[in-house]
Amino acid sequence: MTRVLLAQLPIPRQNFGRRTGNIPLGAACLKQAAQGLPGVTVEILPESEVSYLGDAALSARIAAARPDVIGFSVFSWNIERSLYAAEQLKAALPSTRIVFGGPEVTPDNPLVRSPHVDVRVCGEGEQVFRRLLTEPGAWGEGQAGGSAADIFRRARSPYVDGLLEPAVERLMLLETQRGCPYRCGFCYYNKSRRELIYAEPENLLDAVRWALTHDVGEVYLLDPSLNSRPDLRGLLAAIARLNSRKSLRFISEIRAEAIDAGLADLLAAAGFTWFEIGLQSTTPEALKIMNRPTRLDRFLRGVAHLKRRGITPGIDLIIGLPGDDLAGFMRSVDFVADHDLAADVQIFPLSVLPGTRFRQRRRELGLQFEPHPPYTVTATPSFSPEEFLLAYDYAETRLDTVFFPLPDLELSWRQGAGRDFRKASDLRVRLGERECVAKLVLNRARPVEEIRRLSRQLTQPYQVLAGPGWRDVGFLAKALQITTAENPFTPFEVVFFEPAVPPRPRELLNALNLRRPHFLDGDLRYLFPRPGNRAVLFTLVSVDRRAWFRGEMQRQVYWWKRRRMPSLQELADLGELDGILIDSPLPAAAVRAWQDTLGPSAAEEFHIGFADVGLQIRWLLRICPDEYVPQVLQWMSA
């Protein structure tokens, strides 16, 4: 019997329980392709576990299954952490074979050439996966690839076969085609296969029928350009008949120039509510170099058709494109703002991804970029490093938004009736069969071996809470050395509750064993020049109303302990601080009433958290229900 375990590690998050979008669709397609192979069992590491386990707990979970084959789906956000996991697992299970597949596996990417990876799969994986499980000689190839066109065309959605967990995200990912007709210089998708292939319409409609009866709220059609499907209008009409009550919301990506009034009507009738639309730039030279010709007049007509039908266009812009400069990027921002398209804008620095034309032409184009994922561009012949920061400043001002908000305020520690922090205990959660620690409480000096043991049980992310009056900076640094040595890729937060001495974040940063630069630094190297800062947040909780704890990834929060709830005016009076932690001795019913009445309007202007774990979870699900996974948060309060 050959036992296979497939895993896809999530985009790092800085709040525990937050949705990660880490749906292992590729793994599910592989498991589906392996069905019927004699002597083979395939397990997919559940999203509800893999997305929230710290590095040490994750490796322990995989090793405990003792698989013969481990497959990782690798992307820019998880490649380095996956390589680390592969190294740990090879040490624990020397005879286990490890396979990497996914967008990050390209012939020109040196990162994936690791002695801990036995086979690297470029492009579609279903056919290669079957070969590896049936032909022992295939393992000697090292790198493999091949078309899975026939398998894809005929395959049902993995959701229909019960291979994924829709309840975690309430989101279905649905592939209707593979390949892309466009050849944009920044994108690898068009190189993954030469021709477009399309899933059979009846299988797609079966997936929609399944979603309608399985509490799925949203369906994401993963096509890079939905408009390129030749039978799109007929498919949309069929979906509209099934989804006549609009109980499913559909989202996807589309070229705005392809949208006319008739297509917009069909999209609205089918239940589409949002489209990602890659404008990228309005600078003619940048559009030419990236091979993405755009007729701006037709672009505007297309998005206008969507907006008139209540469909939101989410506009993408890229900073640092070859052929663009700061003035050109500012004109692109003005174009979006002037045409009332600023409701949902995403701005990214250019990522010089492996396998793309920009990566191949990097010297010719004069692109300087980080060698680590997400390969963020740092300078071009027409964009200096300083101008990237100016570009973000201009976009935030012109579009009246914040592109890099601090994590949600989640500083809860109280469980039950206890109010004395000196008696607080670690906050534990159960992920699958493993009990993990989400909050490590340092209200006293704890044995080093105990810290080491608990570090192997930490979640992703985790918090270290230093209790009131804490003075032992050396012990805190030692504890963080231990936690980060066991979890070098896991983001975390250090929370100081009324410390006896001012926190010294720089000293603590110097003590960490965190792998740097961290993926979370990628888009923010212009703001945080010291690598690893974006993965570590320092929070000070105090009754001091003066704002003095400031710096990279630092915030100061007011500790509200009064026997009443704050008014909007009192919250406004604390506006110089970064938030308020409500720790009132009022009965829980009174606090819940405030959450339901004044809370929603207060949350629009202020960062608010609650010391009581149950009240904090209720608050998060009250003010941002689509951002968190209820059952994961509830495991934290169990």
For 585-617, the pLDDT digits (tens) are 999 999 999 999 999 999 999 999 999 999 999
Report the Cα–Cα distance between both ends of the chain, in Å, rounded: 38
Read off the pLDDT of each residue in 55-62 and give the average, rounded to a whole number.
98
* Residue 102 structure tokens: 């996914």
**pLDDT of amino acid 191:** 54
What's residue 633's pLDDT? 86
Whether residue 383 is found in the same domain as residue 430: no
87, amino acid identity = E
CB-based contact 382:325 (threshold 8 Å)? yes
Tell me the average pLDDT across 248-255: 96
* pLDDT tens sequence across 330-356: 999 999 999 999 989 999 999 999 999
**Sign of torsion, CA 218 224 228 231?**
negative
The answer to whether residues 135 and 218 belong to one domain is no
H-helix or E-strand spanning residue 572: helix 568-573
Structure tokens at 276: 């990602």
Q: Answer yes or no: are the C-beta atoms of 381 and 591 closer than 8 Å.
A: no
Domain end (from 115, 150, 185) = 150
Average pLDDT over residues 260-278: 97
pLDDT beyond 60 at 192: no
| Reported confidence tier of residue 469, pLDDT bands at 50, 70, 90 | confident
Angle made by CA atoms 572, 590, 610, in degrees to the nearest 5: 55
Q: Contacts for 32-39 with beta carbons within 8 Å, 24 or more apart? A: 32/126, 32/155, 32/156, 32/158, 32/161, 32/163, 33/126, 33/127, 33/129, 33/130, 33/148, 33/151, 33/155, 34/4, 34/129, 34/130, 34/133, 35/161, 37/130, 37/133, 37/134, 39/1, 39/2
Query: Average pLDDT for residues 362-385, to the nearest whole number?
Result: 94
pLDDT in tens, 219-245: 999 988 899 899 999 999 999 999 999
* Domain limit, last residue, from 150, 184, 206: 150
Please report the pLDDT score of residue 482 as a whole number: 98
Nearby residues of 630 by Cβ (< 8 Å), 6 or more positions away? 621
User: Who has greater pLDDT, 183 or 532?
Assistant: 183
Residues 106 and 192 both lie in one domain: no
Cβ distance 50 to 58 under 8 Å?
A: yes
pLDDT above 70 for 528 = no
Q: What is the DSSP letter of 95?
A: T
Whether 84 is covered by a domain: the verdict is yes
Residue 403 neighbours by CB under 8 Å, 6+ apart: 347, 392, 395, 396
- Kindly give, in sequence order, each residue whose CB lies less than 8 Å from that of residue 369, ignoring residues fewer than 6 positions away: 350, 351, 352, 362, 375, 376, 377, 378
388 and 495 housed in the same domain: no
Question: In this model, does residue 306 exceed pLDDT 60?
Answer: yes
Amino acid at position 89, single letter: L
Cβ(7)–Cβ(70) below 8 Å: yes
Same domain, 117 and 191: no
User: What is the average per-residue pLDDT within 515-527?
Assistant: 76
Cβ neighbors of 388 (< 8 A, separation 6 or more) are 319, 320, 349, 378, 526
Query: Which CATH number belongs to the domain containing residue 615 in this structure?
Result: 3.20.20
Q: Is the pLDDT of residue 537 over 90?
A: yes
In a domain, 388, yes or no: yes
Give pLDDT, residue 416: 77
In this prediction, residue 571 carries a pLDDT of: 96
What is the CA 43 to chain-centroid distance, rounded? 23
SS3 state of residue 329: helix
Task: Count CA within 13 A, CB hemisphere, residue 519.
Answer: 20
Within this chain, do residues 616 and 535 fall inside the same structural domain, yes or no? Answer: yes
Indicate the SS3 state at residue 476: helix
Domain containing 199: what range? 170-399
pLDDT digits (tens, 9 = 90+) for 409-431: 999 999 876 778 888 899 999 99
- The 10s digit of each residue's pLDDT in 144-163 is 788 888 899 999 999 999 99
For residue 407, is it within any domain?
no
In this prediction, residue 179 has a pLDDT band, given cuts at 50, 70 and 90, of: confident
- Is residue 23, in this structure, part of any structural domain at all? yes
Q: Identify whether 411 is part of a domain.
A: no
User: Tell me, what DSSP letter sits at residue 321?
Assistant: -
Better pLDDT: 638 or 503: 503
Cite the beta strand spans of 260-319 per DSSP E: 272-280, 312-319
Q: How would residue 532 be classed by pLDDT, with cut points 50, 70 and 90?
A: low
Same domain, 308 and 369: yes
For the chain, the domain total comes to 3
Q: How far apart are CA 30 and CA 44, in angstroms?
A: 10
pLDDT at 444: 83
- Indicate if the pLDDT at residue 463 is higher than 90: yes
pLDDT in tens, 433-450: 899 999 999 988 899 999
Find out whether 533 and 547 touch, Cβ atoms under 8 Å: no
User: Is the model more confident about 168 or about 489?
Assistant: 489
* Domain end position, chosen among 96, 115, 150: 150
Residues 195 and 243 in one domain: yes
pLDDT at 190 over 70: no
User: Which of 359, 327, 355, 173 lies closest to 250 in space, CA to CA?
Assistant: 173
User: Is 213 part of a structural domain of the chain?
Assistant: yes
Question: Domain holding 81: CATH number?
Answer: 3.40.50.280
Beta bridge partners of 67: none
**Is the pLDDT at 637 greater than 60, yes or no?**
no
* Centroid of chain to Cα 201: 30
pLDDT range class, residue 187, cuts 50, 70, 90: confident
Residue 565, in any domain of the structure: yes
Please report the pLDDT score of residue 435 as a whole number. 94
Residues 576 and 468 in one domain: yes
In a shared domain, residues 327 and 427:
no
Would residue 475 count as lying in a domain? yes
User: Shortest CA distance to 82 belongs to which of 108, 106, 102?
Assistant: 102
Mean model confidence pLDDT for the chain: 93
The percent of residues above 90 in pLDDT, for the chain, comes to 79
Q: What is the pLDDT of residue 139?
A: 87
Position with higher pLDDT, 521 vs 498: 498
Instruction: Please tell me whether residues 515 and 389 are part of one structural domain.
Output: no
- 56 and 456 Cβ atoms separated by less than 8 Å: yes
List, in sequence order, every residue forming a beta bridge with 464; answer none if it has no partner. Answer: 440, 494
Compute the average pLDDT of residues 245-256: 96
| HSE-up of residue 120 (Cα within 13 Å, Cβ side) | 22
Q: What are the DSSP E strand ranges found in 447-586?
A: 458-466, 492-497, 536-542, 554-560, 580-582
Q: Are the C-beta atoms of residues 89 and 64 closer than 8 Å to each other?
A: no
- Contact call for residues 173 and 23 (beta carbons, < 8 A): yes
- Let me know whether 266 and 183 are in one domain: yes
Average pLDDT over residues 30-35: 94
pLDDT category at 527 given cuts 50, 70, 90 is: low
Q: What CATH number does residue 266 fall under?
A: 3.20.20.70
pLDDT reported for residue 193? 59
